[in-house]
Structure 1
């Protein structure tokens, strides 16, 4: 009986290995065709060799890892006399998705531009433009030196990220949902311009559907409760995560802090009294100190908080569309 069970397992294992090899082969062919079809204008990406990336990163030396990256380490290296970011992937299907959507988003100024990829390793490796200031911390500050960003910079970053997400939702035949909005999917360039990246678990909503039933996980603390409970993701999934990110920017607290930020995302009502938002009990003290008695800046903070709270409503239909979030951030900035 045991022998029969063992022999019945072996074919399944072989089939699984064959599927994996076929996926790698077909996936590589697909990517090669996509790269070959690039016209050098709209999607000018190229295929790099393994030897080039090994030289660029000194054989993926840990000293080249960008500060703040963890599981999917990203490296800085030199290719063609320019600094680039090199991002290995550990899941083939996620890598292919990341490459495809990064290609589509590369024309947007607030998306990290895909320069090319390498298909000669066990898993695809992306080559992306450099972003000199690096990643954001969980509390919205810069990883390097824990640099605190001024209020105007935080507001501008939020406004530009909303523009990128609106583009992702509206610029293509079907909406694309990012599903991994967090401080760790944002890099800043030398001018503090935000660059959205990592489309590994992004998904396209099929025709004649309002959502996708496909739970691929997501960042703890940023995850839409509806997506978390039922596996249903839509544009409003990104809106919720973006609302949490706005709170992180405003409060300079991690999304999973067991204090006021968690309280805001669970039940925002206690923070609003008689229609007046108690901004002085919520905002980062550094921001309050920065704006001082400037009434216009104080109103910006209140409007910013009100927008964040509207994004994290438990009921999906109560949340605004991302395009309306982007418009409101432009209004607040003006």
Structure 2
């Protein structure tokens, strides 16, 4: 006999009633109503010429209830209501389950933290239905990334907006803490080089975070993996370094409360459609008081990026982020991975390998081909010395991220001014003008260039003295 929707419903309902003493129908209906309903269903099935033995095997509880006298021959009149009844019960149970998940996923805590007293802005809460629709029920085809804390899916709203959804892998106290921590911190940040949190969903078995979609993947992929995207030129690498430094400077000194990222690495730097850097993954970040100099925690981080001072003392400072940034800067310069078994034993760590190469005057031997061919030698040396300062073993000797950003911006500004002056001179020479005017114009242009060149020399000498 083919399974009709009604029969499927009956079968689903009866699965919870295999024993005569086990008639706990979900949804809080009275026992009398439950038994009457089951009896009606059993009698209707008999009227459809279903094999009685088959019925006895599939629905033993229905048979017992029918024989006990609760059924009525008018049951078939009420049968269409069973589907509606089942739907209502299912909906009620689903609401209960969502409330349970919301509480388990620290939803109540988040609501408390969202008060103005705690300086946390309200975070938009999405429902699970719209997220399932956006990701085609979290299809494997929509996975765009996997990490220790979760899986990232690509989704699309009905209006065509593309989003990224991070789904927690394991529901444990530590992971929940990371998720809530990321919500609290990102809700307070508004910076063009920090990934934007759109909201979250806490009514599912595992919590979900919804971000703006960043299409070009991670910085790590562009430096270390073969890809069909645009290769990172020296100018792009310098720009990305400036943007990361600017974002970290904002976190350390311009946010409402100072924030230590605690996991800066090239896999946590995303690139948007214009190859702008976006700092991501704030699961282990810490918000500190304005006068607080460090946080003492269990050592967490990624080997190769971990501040040695933090590793020894367990005290994380803003200079620990500076160290991690230094490693990223060396990655941009050399194209080398933070840890490599192909390098000599003493050079397995990229930071050690880089500092040894600098000490032995082999900097240009370890540079990425793109950097060596396109970069200005003087600029490269300045950036390399800056990276070396960031990697100083003594945190107090490292520059702040604000100082790092200013120094990198100085290089970019110098290059931009030089290019503008060159273009201006080229335009002047290409025009046919009065000789006397040409003389005065050329003199003026050369004076500007000379002035600019003098400032470059002064800047570079000051960089070398640092």
* TM-score, normalized by the shorter chain, greater than 0.5: yes
| Alpha-carbon separation, structure 2, partners of 1:250 and 1:93 | 36
Q: Deviations over 1:106-135 (max 9, x none)?
A: x10001111111011233211100111122
- Pick from 64, 73, 77: which aligns with 2:142? 64
Unaligned runs of 5+ in 1: 1-20, 292-296
2:155 equivalent among 68, 77, 82: 77
Contact 1:139–1:252 under 8 Å retained in 2 = no
The 5 Å alignment of 1:136-155 reads 136-137=219-220, 140-141=223-224, 144-145=227-228, 148-155=231-238
Of residues 387, 393, 406, the one that matches 1:314 is 393
Within the alignment, does 1:95 sit opposite 2:174 as a pair?
A: no
- Contact between 1:206 and 1:212, CA under 8 Å: does it hold in 2? no
Counterpart in the other structure of 1:104: 188
Contact between 2:251 and 2:259, CA under 8 Å: does it hold in 1? yes
1:77 to 1:317, Cα distance in 2 relative to 1, 3 A? same
With over 3 angstroms needed to count, the CA separation of the structure-2 counterparts of 1:197 and 1:270, relative to structure 1, is closer
Larger radius of gyration: 2
- Greater helix share, 1 or 2? 2
Query: Match for residue 290 of structure 1?
Result: 374
SS at match of 2:274: coil
TM-score calculated relative to the size of structure 1: 0.81
User: In 1, Cα distance between the equivalents of 2:128 and 2:217?
Assistant: 25
CA RMSD of aligned residues (A): 2.7
Unaligned runs of 5+ in 2: 1-99, 414-466
Q: Which has the higher contact order (CA 8 A, sep 6+)?
A: 1
Contact preservation (8 Å) 2:338, 2:351: no
More deviation, 236-245/139-148 = 139-148
Offset, 1:167 = 0.6
Describe how 1:159-198 pairs up with structure 2 within 5 A.
159-198=242-281
Residue matched to 1:299: 378
For residues 198 and 167 of structure 1, the distance between their equivalents in structure 2, rounded to whole angstroms, comes to 16
- For residues 140-168 of structure 1, what are the alpha-carbon distances to aligned partners after superposition, in whole Å with 9 as ceiling and x for unaligned? 35775375311111110110111110111
Deviates more, 1:307-316 or 1:73-82: 73-82
Q: How many residues align?
A: 301
* Range with greater deviation from structure 2 (203-212 or 109-118): 203-212
For 2:103 and 2:226, how far apart are their aligned partners in 1? 35
For residue 326 of structure 1, the aligned residue among 405, 412, 415 is 405
Quick check: 2:245–2:405 contact (8 Å CA) kept in 1? Answer: yes
Q: 1:270 aligns with which of 347, 356, 365?
A: 356
Match of 1:13 in 2: none
2-side partners of 1:84 and 1:322: how far apart? 30
Match in the other structure for 2:216: 133
